Structure 1
């Protein structure tokens, strides 16, 4: 019996292949790099005639063609009403161009300090728009500038009140951990007629810190290590948690109860309480070491230790961190957690 013939894969459409290649792409990238290099980095930008640009939109070009046809027809047939209608539309377009440019000119853009984010989540940028003008401004959009020619911008639109302020949030997704400069932003308006596009580019000076993505699901915490000055050490019992905590016993002081763990247990419908083991915690310390995460991929090890940091912080434990070239002494609290996450992001 003859075997089944393998059907060859269908070739890609020629339009898709040609559309993905642009001979002007290298020139466009060089021009964009030169253009952005001329923009001064600043977290506050006041828009003036020197940094606001205007071009007709597609409907604006169609209006220009329509006016030309109306003018030629009026001249050919000697239509006085045709002249009136043509110049009335042309005057409206000219006034709309002036209003459109004035809508963006004079606005002050200010970027608030961005908060650290975990990799894999969208980083929100909060932009404040201020206007000293005594009349409101309508239809102003802010977005992250996408360098690709056909990339889609995700606009955040707002109206700025007279002599007031408005706030918008735009987001972008970093592709790697570490410290990143805030990407180039763009603002534009097409108010009132949509026949002209007025826009500007803005390069903020701020940087955003991107933490590593924590491992999901999180691995159990490593066992505690004997203190350097301790006289004895207890073996790990293999419970998957640091030995400095144990189940609550009747008579334990309230200050030894891990209340964060208790609140989480109550939220899940259980009433299990956990106490700190004072004797055990005197003999052992919890150290989170990137080199001991037992994973071949360095980024996977960093993700695992990031999950350990969050887990130890939830349990209210004292923990230390070891990353290549740096060691953070054991501690607890929000400031300690942020210090450890920053070290993991930059290692």
Structure 2
């Protein structure tokens, strides 16, 4: 009983400590967010490049720089106390070297040109890629440039005089739509590591993130083209021309199974052949049954991929938008982009 009473007394105290600690953490997070918002970003020019000017560079001493400052203070105080001229000379030489180092660290970022280019579209959950190009417009070599990408990954870069380098940054995607690169910090501690200078590069680069395709989404039955010479009659299954895939039915020949789709865990899919007729395939929002919008978009994305692999003409019908019949890689991207931006405000 005594132990239980002592435990009951400790529990409120522990809960109170946790409650008092949460506002402190929240306050630190808010302070960091306000400081980050107050920092100036390097704006983009008309050509899409960000040029680092004087007012956009921030600089602070590193741990080594603070230690050197403490050593200089001690040596200065000792030299003045004992009237040691050699100690004073040594202190002033070290202080002058530190000042020159600070100036060189600042110059390592001044005038740098940076612009970002988005990579190809990806599906939700995959890593989107952005290409950052750094260029030195003058005749100054720049060493120890570090780009901090997504999740704190550091990408070191060294620029020769008048040269340019490209760095690929990866961003993890979570949902469909447009994934922005956002602000990219560039920092340097060149040449002695006593000071850290950094600038924040603003970027408008965006990658289109497609809906994650569903594992299986059977295609609707193809419809004969209006101008086909053999538009009447049956579908002509068993002829030579491939018209599209469909779901497996009992009794289908194993020769018609799409083994590649089975290896990709898409289920049993049968290849259909229908002679030399032209077929049209419409992927309709109303014909896809799903409990929510995202699941329906995911199934439509799988149908778009299946239709593109089948090399048939297909169109996409969405509420408020219709993409006409077409084929090829550009049409595939247009359909996936329409699914990615469905229900979202245009940029």
- TM range, normalised to the smaller chain? 0.7 to 0.9
| Kept after mapping to 1: 8 A contact 2:43/2:50 | no
Deviations 1:216-267 (A, max 9, x none): x3333333246578656659999418xxxx9999xxxxxxxxxxx89x79x9
1:136 offset after TM fit, Å?
1.7
Counterpart among 134, 154, 162 of residue 139 in structure 2: 134
Deviations 1:158-211 (A, max 9, x none): 100111111111122233211344311111111111111111112123332221
- 1:314 counterpart SS class: helix
> By how many angstroms is 1:31 displaced?
5.6
CA spacing shift, 1:135–1:184, aligned 2, 3 Å: closer
Shift of 1:100: 0.7
Residue 289 (structure 1) aligns with: 284
Comparing 105-114 with 189-198, greater Cα deviation is found at 105-114
Q: Matched residues in 1 for 2:190 and 2:327: separation?
A: 53
Task: Mark the CA change 1:22 to 1:248 in structure 2 (over 3 Å): closer, same or farther.
Answer: closer
CA deviation profile, 1:25-72 (whole Å, cap 9, x unmatched):
445545644656x76445301112122221112221222112111211
Which residue pairs with 1:221 in the alignment?
219
What corresponds to 1:210 in structure 2?
209
Deviates more, 1:202-211 or 1:153-162: 202-211
Match of 1:306 among 298, 301, 306: 301
User: 1:132-173: CA deviations, max 9, x gaps?
Assistant: 3334210111234x7xxxxx5222111001111111111222
- Match for 2:275 among 255, 272, 278? 278
- 2:54 pairs, out of 38, 49, 53, with 49
Name stretches of at least 5 consecutive residues in structure 2 with no aligned partner: 1-7, 239-244, 265-269, 343-347
Mark the CA change 1:143 to 1:82 in structure 2 (over 3 Å): closer, same or farther. Answer: same
**Runs of 4+ residues deviating >4 angstroms:** 10-17, 30-36, 225-239, 246-249, 273-276
Contact 1:110/1:129 (8 A) holds in 2: yes
SS at the partner of 2:108?
helix
CA distance in structure 2 between the partners assigned to 1:79 and 1:338 by the alignment: 76
Match of 1:192 in 2: 191
Contact 1:123 1:172 in 2 (8 A): yes
Change (3 A) 1:63 1:233: farther
The 3 A distance-change label for structure 1 pair 135 and 227 is: closer
Match for residue 75 of structure 1 among 57, 74, 80: 80
CA distance in 2, matches of 1:306, 1:20: 46
**TM-score, normalised via structure 2 length:** 0.75
Aligned length: 309
Secondary structure of residue in 2 paired with 1:62: helix
Q: CA deviation at 1:339?
A: 0.9
Per the alignment, residue 158 of structure 1 pairs with 157
TM-score by length of 1: 0.75
- Look up the match of 1:170: 169
Taking the aligned partners of 2:290 and 2:272, their CA distance within structure 1 comes to 31
Q: Tell me, what secondary structure is at the counterpart of 2:307?
A: helix
> Any stretches of 5+ residues in structure 1 without a counterpart?
1-7, 147-151, 250-260
Q: Structure 1 pair 111/49, CA: closer, same or farther in 2 (3 Å)?
A: same
Q: Alpha-carbon deviations, 1:262-318, whole Å to 9, x = none? A: 9x79x99xxxx9785235x54x53222233332212111111211221222122222
Structure 1 residues 24, 235: closer, same or farther in 2, change over 3 A?
A: farther
Root mean square deviation, CA, Å = 3.7
User: How far apart, CA to CA, are the structure 1 residues paired with 2:312 and 2:120?
Assistant: 25
Describe the SS at the equivalent of 2:125: coil
Structure 1 residues 221, 274: CA separation in 2 closer, same or farther (over 3 Å shift)?
closer
